[in-house]
Structure 1
Amino acid sequence: MGARGKESTSNALAVQLDESGKVKYSAIARQGHSADKIIYSKLTDLLPSEVLAEDDATLQKPTEDDIQDITEKTKQALEKLTNAKISAALPVKAAPKAAPAQYIRYTPAQQGGAFNSGAKQRVIRMVEAQSDPLEPPRFQINRKIPRAAPSPPAPVLHSPPRRVSVKQQR
């Protein structure tokens, strides 16, 4: 349209249709670019090729059994992490299992009816003394140690002193 031999200065685009007969709006994005330039104007252009294959078995939703297994594994892993954090945060740890009692046969050096209630030997049961779980710690181990002295400053390098000449003294 218009005069022959002159290029049109209009910005209007011709309507283009795709294979299914829908309007190709990507023509608007391609306007002003060279034909060999790659322009991503659709969602399918941005998706990787494996996502475009919708019937792929790896993209299907997992079954209920798979969901239950994964949920149980995740729950166990999270419980393990939280139990470790909780036990580390508690100031008092659970009392460790005490060693079994030891029985010792004791024979006193002084024998006689007036000593040791008249017994010649005694059997002593030795057990580990239980520690009170609510007792405060005996030693302070979280004291802050003062920092060491920093490295000495770098020496300032001056030119060597020069003797004053007679002319400079006057």
Structure 2
Amino acid sequence: MTTITLARGDITEQSVDAIVNAANSSLLGGGGVDGAIHRRGGPAVLAECRHLRETRYADGLPPGDAVATTAGDLDARWVIHTVGPVFSASDDRSATLVSCYRRSLRVADELGARSVAFPAISTGVYGWPIDDGARIAVETVHATPTSVTDVRFVLFDEQAFRAFVVVVD
């Protein structure tokens, strides 16, 4: 059984088996959660991401997919990188957002991870409305068969935290 908990704060400070990175398709770092994970994880994370770009993902990681690297200097064993969709009011991309959570849990299972910290994927610069993003995240985790026993949503600000509280309660 998977237990969902909520935490407000910095995902890079979580002590878990795997931290999920809301990455961009380049896998080479960026802003927000992605930049924070790369900065705190150190050069080992970037080195593995570069290797992935040179070998498996020459064109970048596709939205909705997920791949793992070392966690470097983070208090975790792995970082699971996933690329969320950019929100569009005219094009329903929710299936891609669902896939981010499902694929991340599948990768966690392949690694043997039992505790995973997720950010609110696509709800930052990618513009996904936080209320809908929270609903999709929680419903997808509940509906996805997994061996992960502890899913922690780590929300950076109060608005995101409140949106997740409404869905979890």
With normalisation by structure 2, the TM-score equals 0.14
Which structure dedicates a bigger proportion of its chain to helix?
Answer: 2
With normalisation by structure 1, the TM-score equals 0.14
Which structure dedicates a bigger proportion of its chain to strand?
Answer: 2
- Higher Cα Rg, which structure: 1
Greater RCO, CA 8 A, separation 6+: 2
